[in-house]
Every structure is written in structure tokens, then in C-alpha cells.
Structure 1
């Protein structure tokens, strides 16, 4: 997530200055949220699963599905301007406190696990020069990544936040290498190689399975599409939240799809699938030589470190806001004199540390962390889409100006809900169960918050959902222990 600067002219009126964001700034926040580590890994991730035909279908599905989800956030920003915390607030308003709590926890956990992918990718990038770091999953890589985790904790703990200059450097480091990569790949594009990659390799399986295999990767790179809605209360004009979401999404979609497709014209997909991450560096090296790998690698490291700092602050903010709303225990709502939510920041770093250690036991640390990040985000997204359906078909629908608007919103909300439900299916039982292993213990925080307020711990529906979650977590632990599923 990229925290943008506030508009310097936003506080000309009398009274205390208000941080008001322009359309351009909000759009930059959406772009900054989505362009992170994921795009640098796209060539290999897609080549492992599918050829050109499958990639085109996958991006078409992801593009339409995520566009529907972007429209949902646009609609909710206008329909419910009283909800300012984004995804978490929509789930709570639509389906009660327990599912709202789950949405907040899932969104937070997704950000924490996503931060692990950054360190794995950094170590894998440096590992091209230092073999002891491997693919970012060796003992030395985990020790160095852990040092980085806690180093950033201490940095943010002291009140150091992103300055405008740092933001500009990070944004340039993200965008410039990607744009140059696409231009150079087009220049060195070989139509014969592209044609050979069109139908996919022998290992790819059926076209349906090829497309399904890429779905979690597309979710990962689109995380952040909700970026403007999270800070909607800071917008100069409420309608800019939706506009920024759509503009940012379309810009980033073009970038992601281009990076994937042009790579098929440089190398055979079997060779792309065998590249170390970040695979964009390997593809560019094949096209222009060693300097291409160095160029992408340097841009990636600067980009990822900036993204890591931003998403760490974002994750801590989710816990902090939930605690302020009494949906998390009180201690998570405390902040230091420098306005840093230290307990929430500590929990964020601790969960990232745990997941980082777990990656040592996975066959592919980066892909495991990427897929788990995507899986954890699906429940919050599904609940937000379902809330939009509830609004479009409920009593609120009668307040719209025309029936046509209501029908359009209902269709969009239903399509977004179906898309996120399909993503849960595409994730497969493995990642659903692993997600529940993380979700189940979080109920302790929900219980603590209820006790602090001297309220009944669970209502009947909440107790039933809690039982299902715990049962799923127990099944997940058994499946891992017995080898039914593997990390």
C-alpha cells in the first residue's frame, strides 16, 4: 500500500487543517497499492501454469472480475458514506460483528503474509549473487529477513513514516523498470517463440486447469484495488473514491497483462517456468544481457522495501481502527506520542515472523506466501461484494434515482460475488484450510473484546460460525500432520 501525500491546498478554510485527498492522489494510492512485488514474479508464475491462450483467458476473467469488485467499492463509497474503514466496515455493517471481526482479521493477516513475500523475494533476488540465500527460503535468508522485519519495526516504532520524497522515489522504482521491461520485450519480441508458447506446454494440463492455476496470482497482484476506499473519509469529494478506484485499476491491469504476455515472446515457457524469482529479471536478461537482470533487481528491491513499509503501516492501521471501534481488544487501540499504534505494529511484525519461519517448511516459499496472502483476502472481499448485493436488492435500493441504476448495481454486485466465490474454489481446499488455521485462534481476540465490554460472548449464529471455523482449523492441522496436504 502506498500512502500518498495530502493536497497542500486542502485546508484553506478556517479551523483545523483537514487532510483532503484529490482524485489524482487517490488514484496514485490505488496504483501504489497494487504495484508491488507481485508484478515482478508474473512471468514465471504464469509460465508454470499456462501458455499464451490460457494467460489471455485468465487475464480476461481476472480483469472483468476485479473490475466488478472495483465497481462494488465505487458503489459502496457512494451508498454508504458513513463507512470509512473500507473492507472491514462493509462486512460488519452487512453481516454483523463476528463476520466483521473476521474480515478485519483476514485483511490484516493477508497484509502480514504479503509482507513475507517481500522478504522472500528480496533474498531470492540477492541470492542470484549469494547462493547461500537460495530462493529466499534458506536458514540464512530467514535470519536476515527476520532482522529486516524487526529493523523496520524499530524504525516505525520511533515514528518514522513515509515522506513525500521517499514516496516519489519508491513510485518511480516501481513503474520505471516495468515500463522499460515491456518496451524492451516488445523490441526483442520473437513471433516464432510466442507462437510456440500459445497452446501451453505438456505439463500445463487442460485449459480450465491452466486458467484456474493462475487465479491466486492475479488476486495477489490486484490486492490494493480497495486502497482508495480505505481512506475514503479523507477524499475531497466522495465520488472521487470510486473514480480513483476505476482509473487506478485500469492502469495497473494494462501493466500486469502486458508484462505477462510479452514475456512469452522472449523465451520458451518451460525456460520461463524454471527461472528464479524475480522472473522478470531473468526474462529481461535473456533479451538484453546481464544489465537487464541488474536493472530489474535494483528497481525491485527499492520498490519492495517501500511497499513493505507502507503495508506494515496499513496492517497496523486495520487493527488500530478495529480496536477503536471496539471490535478488537483495547490494547490494540493504543498509540505512542508519535501517533504510532505500537501494540498493533508489534502484532503485525510477530505474525509476519511466524509465517516467515513456516515458509522454511514449504516446497516453494514465495508461491506459498503469495497464495496464502490471496486466500486470506478472499473472505473480506467476498463479504464486501455480498454486502453490495444486500444493498442493491434491499430497502436501500428504493432510494436510487432510477431503476436502471439499481439493476446495474445489482448485476455488478452479483458478478463480483460470483467471481470471489470462484476464487475460493480456485484456491482449493488446501489454502482454505490453512487460512482457517490462522482464523480460528483469532477468536480469542474477539472474546477478549466482548469481555472488556461486559457483553455476551457469542450469539447463536456467531457460536455456529465459530464452531465451523474451529472444526475447519482442526481438519487443517490434521491434514498437514497426516500429509494429506503439503505446504
Structure 2
């Protein structure tokens, strides 16, 4: 790190564990929680939901423990996902971790904007499902309003995020309480099995069908890790990650389970998104849907803010080394990574225009977002496992702790692989189409610093990635993969 880098970092005001936890909660509690009743109702019953949340909760807790451990054992790595992948597996995989994570956030931000306008579309028909010209125009204005807010300083934006996070939790908690009071044990029992009494879909298939949505709603678990450089105390990073995860897990499970107690599965599966509104409306009448719609708009815009903050960081930090081009390391007088922020919002704007030609923009962006994030999660878990195998950072007296953390890392790796399996070949190939062009930025970054571009292993990885991307493009062109 150069002298200027040290000065810039020290000039940024440090934040505590509650602010970091707020970033984690703010990132995870976005639009996904409001879609849970329909998503789970369409995929499985109560039994499958219990199994799915057990797997997802355990897997994500293992990932949270991984981030907690790495924050303590490698405090020199202060950029979360990107830095762990680079330290563990080299510059090219580190770049792809940063690029894929960034691209996933761009897709996620488009999802948030479309969901906001789709929610408003119930009151203003001209907005449709968030995919009309008017809706895209309004969403575009929102993108640049957030850009102006964040450009005034990361610290100021994190304060706003804490306020928004608190505000958006209110309608969710009100929903849980009201629906829990109206809970009908008979309806809950009727929803116990996945196929209205045990049809053709196996429990394994039902659980697999829920994995993308459970992963999507948990995206953001690494929020505190990405902001390691802003933490007042290093230990706060791990504490904030675990605290944030346990808080949102309780919320997600509660939303899912109480919904099974008021509506049959068929009605949940057919509900209009945001489906929490349909569930609450069935209990209290039309005002319930309006109440949830307001909550959606607050929640989704808060999540948009949190993810934009994360995305600027994930381009800015690797640009300070030889992984991203230098121009992305530029900051303004507020110490905001302005170049990275601008590139992020230009990408969001461009992807917003694609909404006009994609059949189901919400579903597409949700699944693409999730698929792009799985590889960075896997590389992070793999790095934690690598440390336990090589015994790096572990002394002679740390054997018991090393074995415990090795088990955690193995479980995190297995869970990440299961998520890749659940995503399916279609979305993995679409992810490769996004990953492959990013290699051009990596080549530029390495050459402008006169460094070797690829090792032999990295060159092989690049060839495989480009081959998968070409196959994906061919399948899209042939109509085998439907956008």
C-alpha cells in the first residue's frame, strides 16, 4: 500500500459492530424476503421448508464462521471475498471472484429496482411489472439519485443505511405477529407435504428447488467482511457477520412458516408478488397488501443502497493492486471510490435497458444474481480450508482450533458445491457468459503494471471459462437456454 493509500484509509471514519451488522442485515433483508411465501409454496410444503432452512441456515452459518475466522487469522486481507480468493488461489481467480461478485450485485440491483416498480404497478398500471418504458425511466432516475447520495461519502451513506434498515424491519415484524395470531394448525397440517398429500416430486427435489431463493435472500452475509478496512476493531467483522446472519435467519424462517398456517399451498404458489402482501391481505383485508407494498419499497431501496456501497468497494480495492485497472482506484474529496461507483451505476443502467426485452426480468435477475455469487463463496470457503491444511496462521498449540475450523470449512465447501448443483447447468453457463468478458479488464490491469498476465494454471482456467461462455452463447442463440 502506498503512502497515499494509507492516508486515504486513515482519513475514512471508522464504524462499529452495530453499523457493520446493519450493513449485513441491510444487504440480506431486501426484496427476497417479501417473495418467500410464493417461492416456498410453489416448491415445497412445511416438511421440505424445514429441511431447506436447516440446510441453508447451517450452510450459511458455516460461511459466516469462515468469514469470522478469516477476519481474525488474516487481518491483512481487508477486502473480503476478493482478497481471500486472490491470497488462496492467485491473481486471476481473485479477479474473477471480484468481477463475478460485482456482476452479481449489478443484477441484484436491477432486481431491486424492477421489484420496486412492479410493486407500484399495482397502483399505477402504466408501470406494469416493472418492465415498461415508464418504469425503466423512473428506475433510471433512482439509480442516479443513489449515486449522488453515495458520492457524498461512504460514512454518510452507511448512516442512512442504518436508518433504512430499522425502518424496513417494521412491516416484516408486523406481518409475522399478525399472521402468527391468525395461524390455523389445520391449514398448517394440510400444507405439511410437498405435493398436496405426497405427489411425484421427491423431498430432495423439493429442497433443491428452494436453494436458489434461500441463497438469494442470504446474499450479503459477507457485507461486514467487505468493509473490513472501515471497522473500528477487527473482531467486530466476525461478530457483525454472525449477528446479522442469525437475525435474518430467524426472520426468514418465521415469514415462511407462518404463511403455511393461513393459506393453502396452491394459493401461496399462485399469489402475486410480493406474496407477503397476499398472505397478509387474506388475514386483515386489502390494507394488508398496501402495507406490505410500502414495506417492499422501503426495504428494496435500502438494500439497493447497501449493495451499491458494497459494489463500489469490490471494484475499488482490487484496483489498488494489479488486479483491476488503475482508474477504478480514483476517489473524490469525500474519499468515495467515485470511479468504481460510476462504473457500477453505468452497468446497472445498461442492464435496466435489457429489462425491456427479457420475458421475466424479476426471475431472471434473481437467478443470475445467485449463480454469479456462488463461485466467490466457494473460493472463500476453499481458502479457509487451505489454511487449515497448510497450517498457515496456526501455531503448535492451535491444533484443536485448527481441526474445528477445518470441519467448518469442509461443511462450507460442501454447501457451496451443493448450491452450484442446485443452480443447474443453464445458469452456470449464463454466469460464464458474464465472467468471460471480464478477463479483458484483468489483462489491461496486468499489462499497465508490466506484470505477467497468466500462469500456466491460470491460462488453462481462462480457456475453460471462455469455452463455457461460448457454449452458453450458442445455447442461448439456439433457444435451448431461454432468457
Structures share fold, TM-score greater than 0.5: yes
- Output aligned runs, 1:55-74, within 5 Å: 55-74=49-68
- Output aligned runs, 1:468-487, within 5 Å: 468-487=464-483
- Output aligned runs, 1:306-321, within 5 Å: 306-321=302-317
SS in 1 for 2:176: helix
Aligned counterparts of 2:74 and 2:159: Cα–Cα separation in 1: 34
Q: 1:184 aligns with which of 154, 178, 186?
A: 178
Aligned counterparts of 1:98 and 1:167: Cα–Cα separation in 2: 33
Q: 1:251 aligns with which of 233, 247, 250?
A: 247
- Name 1:445's counterpart in structure 2: 441
The verdict on how the C-alpha distance between 1:312 and 1:94 changes in structure 2, with shifts beyond 3 A counting, is same
- Name 2:3's counterpart in structure 1: none
Q: Is 1:171–2:165 an aligned residue pair? A: yes
Q: Is 1:273–2:235 an aligned residue pair? A: no
Q: CA deviation at 1:23?
A: 3.1
TM-score, L = length of structure 1: 0.92
Structure 1 contact 204–210 (Cα < 8 Å) conserved:
no
- Name 1:411's counterpart in structure 2: 407
Q: Is 1:141–2:132 an aligned residue pair? A: no
Q: Is 1:214–2:210 an aligned residue pair? A: yes
Higher mean displacement: 251-260 or 328-337:
328-337
Aligned counterparts of 1:407 and 1:155: Cα–Cα separation in 2: 45
Aligned counterparts of 1:121 and 1:361: Cα–Cα separation in 2: 16
Q: Is 1:458–2:454 an aligned residue pair? A: yes
Aligned counterparts of 2:76 and 2:54: Cα–Cα separation in 1: 34
Aligned counterparts of 1:284 and 1:220: Cα–Cα separation in 2: 23
- Name 1:4's counterpart in structure 2: none
Q: CA deviation at 1:355?
A: 2.7
- Name 2:101's counterpart in structure 1: 107
Aligned counterparts of 2:203 and 2:144: Cα–Cα separation in 1: 43
Specify every segment of 5 or more residues in structure 1 that has no aligned partner in the other structure, as ranges. Answer: 1-15
Aligned counterparts of 1:400 and 1:245: Cα–Cα separation in 2: 28
- Name 1:366's counterpart in structure 2: 362
SS in 2 for 1:484: coil
SS in 2 for 1:48: helix
Aligned counterparts of 2:426 and 2:347: Cα–Cα separation in 1: 20
Q: 1:132 aligns with which of 126, 130, 142?
A: 126
SS in 1 for 2:43: coil
The verdict on how the C-alpha distance between 1:26 and 1:336 changes in structure 2, with shifts beyond 3 A counting, is closer
Aligned counterparts of 2:150 and 2:18: Cα–Cα separation in 1: 27
Specify every segment of 5 or more residues in structure 2 that has no aligned partner in the other structure, as ranges. Answer: 1-9
The verdict on how the C-alpha distance between 1:17 and 1:428 changes in structure 2, with shifts beyond 3 A counting, is closer
SS in 1 for 2:220: coil
Q: Deviations over 1:437-478 (max 9, x none)?
A: 110100110011011011222221111111111111111111
- Name 2:301's counterpart in structure 1: 305
Q: Is 1:41–2:35 an aligned residue pair? A: yes
The verdict on how the C-alpha distance between 1:155 and 1:30 changes in structure 2, with shifts beyond 3 A counting, is closer
Aligned counterparts of 1:222 and 1:262: Cα–Cα separation in 2: 19
Structure 1 contact 124–276 (Cα < 8 Å) conserved:
no
Q: Is 1:432–2:428 an aligned residue pair? A: yes
- Name 1:54's counterpart in structure 2: 48
SS in 2 for 1:277: coil
Q: CA deviation at 1:150?
A: 3.5
Q: CA deviation at 1:141?
A: 2.4
Aligned counterparts of 1:483 and 1:477: Cα–Cα separation in 2: 10
